[in-house]
Amino acid sequence: MKTCVFFLCIAFLQRSMAQEATTLNAGMERLKLEFVLDRSGTPNYAVYFNQKQIVKPSALGFALSDDSTFYKDFELLGSEKKTVDETWKPVWGEVNQIRNNYEELTVHLKHKGVASRYLDIVFRVFADGVGFRYVFPNQAALKYFIVTDEFTHFNLTGDHKAFWIPGDYDTNEYPYTTSKLSEVDAWKLAATATDIAVRVAPDQYAVQTPLMMKTNDGLYINIHEAALSGYPAMQLHVDRSASSLSSSLVPDAVGSKAFLHAPFKTPWRTIIVSDKATHILASRLILNLNEPSVIQDPSWIKPMKFVGVWWEMQIGKSTWRYSEYADSTDANGKLIPNGKHGATTENVKRYIDFAAKNGIGGVLVEGWNTGWEDWFGNWKEDVFDFVTPYPDFNLKEITAYAASKNVKMIMHNETSGSATNYERQMDTAFRFMNKFGYTSVKTGYVGKIIPRGEHHDGQWMVNHYERVAKKGVEYKVMVDMHEPPRPTGMQRTYPNWLACEAGRGNEYNAFSKGNSPEHETIMPFTRLMGGPMDYTPGIFKLKNYSPEDPTRQVHTTLVKQMALYITMYSPVQMVSDLLENYEAKPDAFQFIKDVPVDWDDSKILEAEPGDYITIARKEKGKDNWFIGAITDENARTTNIPLDFLDKGKKYIAVVYADGDKADWKDNPESYKIQKLKVDAKTKLNLKLAPGGGAAISIMPGN
């Protein structure tokens, strides 16, 4: 009897060990993924780069409102693998075609909990990283359900250097902190960031994605998500003692994370890995994980540069509002003008003339419509109607004038955070754009969100932003959204969704302590990983521009502002400064006139997060190349080979460089311009001042 029991125990142990040892894997070049169920039936994955572990075995799963254990007690029903190697062409972008090459592993799991429920996990392994998502298939025991938590873990191999901002439910506009993961303290930064209007950061140890990290042995790791649709944005809770990260979903007004209906696919969780920082910036993994374009004929989508009635309000020279207060009315009940309103017919015509003269495609006007007297800080639902101009903004006259100059007017729809009001009036607003020839719109969501209790990054608002993009498709209007969650590559699916803000832009130099010199060397590794940013570069007057505070200044040199048109990629780039500041420096302004916003190719020549970036881009449909180089607070000298140019062809390079004594703090507007004959054998010696840069145009010629 004892012998029989002994052999039964041995057999059970062997079966248990065999189950634990059963490993599924997928790989592509130097990347490898392993999947296994542990003894408790918990799904786990691990990631390897060049045979070195990058992510240690990490658990996956959920807590549902009716089943808090939907992360364990799974059994493996089966799996399948496939390899995909295809090429697709984006409507616009940094390159004219993208290779989508991966090995996919799909794991089919059955849960043994409350009922027989099923969960699939799909892994895609690329040469530069891994993406994985959860799939709730169509099933009898799981129809409508509520996610109360997602238990996706990223167990790292060390206390990595990280570039992070707090995990805030309502804003991504913090300055970046560089520290070890063990030093993350979101509350410390959130408490001091008083220049941000709405801050909700309840987890002291949560950070936002994209999270950029560097290991002690020189590997670069970026964690983000792709194809955020129908689901809340993911933040990361940092276990500071274990060097472990776990998903933290933004909740809704009643504290739940997501209301779902099977079948449903979550966004992809992404891990991009390389031993070269340049490869991180060159990755197309996030775009590849998004669905193809829903637009059959995208010919109406036109990337462009634009000027606008905007910076003058940011620095306090003029105002968005027509009157000082909503109740500042005369005896006839009409608003009393404050004399500082920026969106006047005369002023807008001045911008239209400038755009036409300098080959700039569009003009944005903020503050054109009624409602700005009490638009912010009151949590008011019905602020704007999106169709009624102020008395000094002659809509028909401006429309006709812009058309006569072949300049496109850009609509501005600020919602004051009231998404409910915008939803009710969205068709009216987009029909209005069609009627008056507005082919693009900049939307805004400054303030607390209505529906009250919802957050900018929660499921309700994620759905709202996608509805706006779809409305743009319906009416053939391009969209630039401000104050949304950070992008996740959805511009592939909706190529009319040109750009977002969703980060700390150049505007913070207008009304706060500004952005540090290293800020723009971090953002391409963080905020821009998921998609283009409307950063609003191009400020030429870098000191003494604020009537409200003469001590404010932009923390870059003038040439670095020019280089940002290359390093901070966007298909819509604002020419942001006051017109007279460009007219005062026409030789430097020539680069902004020349630089395009759509590209056939991009070469990341050198990069180090927080230190420097140099990028070369080839203009769409032409043989012109443009180079942007930027540095942090440290001066830098670099030699850039031009071996990406066509062999045997001659070019003329115009080098816009920092002046010999340029410095972001004391001498930011010093610059010099040099013309050179170059070819593919040339090496350019670039000297970047502290907080400086270099901007170069290279065009065929002898």
Measure the CA–CA gap between 501 and 485, rounded to whole angstroms: 9
Measure the CA–CA gap between 85 and 98, rounded to whole angstroms: 11
Measure the CA–CA gap between 469 and 443, rounded to whole angstroms: 11
Residues 652 and 698: beta-carbon distance below 8 Å: yes
For residue 255, give both structure tokens.
Answer: 């504290």
Amino acid letter, 42? T
Residue for token pair 């999947």 = 35
Q: Are strands 43-49 and 52-59 parallel, antiparallel or unpaired?
A: antiparallel
For residue 51, give both structure tokens.
Answer: 């045979």
For residue 644, give both structure tokens.
Answer: 């990406």
518, 212, 495, 458: CA torsion to nearest 10: -110
> Is 373 among the catalytic positions?
no
Question: What residues pair up with 640 in beta bridges, in sequence order?
Answer: 684
Distance in angstroms between the alpha carbons of the first and the last residue of the chain = 96
Cα 92 to Cα 226, 294, 303, 392, 538: the distances in Å are: 18, 14, 8, 37, 22
Measure the CA–CA gap between 372 and 374, rounded to whole angstroms: 6
Residues 109 and 120: beta-carbon distance below 8 Å: yes
CB half-sphere exposure, 447, CA atoms < 13 A: 20
DSSP secondary structure code for residue 545 in this structure: -
For residue 495, give both structure tokens.
Answer: 């190529």
Q: Where are the alpha helices (DSSP H) in 32-78?
A: none
For residue 526, give both structure tokens.
Answer: 């963080």
Residue 295 CB-density burial (10 A; 0-12 exposed, 13-18 middle, 19+ buried): middle
Q: What are phi and psi of 289, to 5 degrees?
A: -85, -5
Measure the CA–CA gap between 368 and 387, rounded to whole angstroms: 9
Q: Which of 492, 493, 465 is nearest to 480 (CA)?
A: 465
Q: Are strands 31-37 and 24-28 parallel, antiparallel or unpaired?
A: antiparallel
Measure the CA–CA gap between 488 and 465, rounded to whole angstroms: 12
CB half-sphere exposure, 473, CA atoms < 13 A: 17
Residues 208 and 167: beta-carbon distance below 8 Å: yes
DSSP character string of 279-328: HHHH--HHHHTSPPPS-S--TT---EEEEEETHHHHTTSSBS-SSSSTT-
For residue 325, give both structure tokens.
Answer: 């207060």
Q: Which of 88, 83, 94, 101 is nearest to 26 (CA)?
A: 83
Q: Are strands 144-150 and 43-49 parallel, antiparallel or unpaired?
A: unpaired
The SS3 assignment for 468 reads: helix
Measure the CA–CA gap between 122 and 108, rounded to whole angstroms: 9
Q: What is the CA radius of gyration of the chain?
A: 26
Amino acid letter, 106? T
Among candidate residues 150, 312, 501, 507, the one labeled active-site is 507
Q: Which of 308, 312, 436, 300 is nearest to 362 (CA)?
A: 308
The SS3 assignment for 610 reads: coil
Residues 433 and 300: beta-carbon distance below 8 Å: no
Q: Catalytic residues, which ones?
A: 507
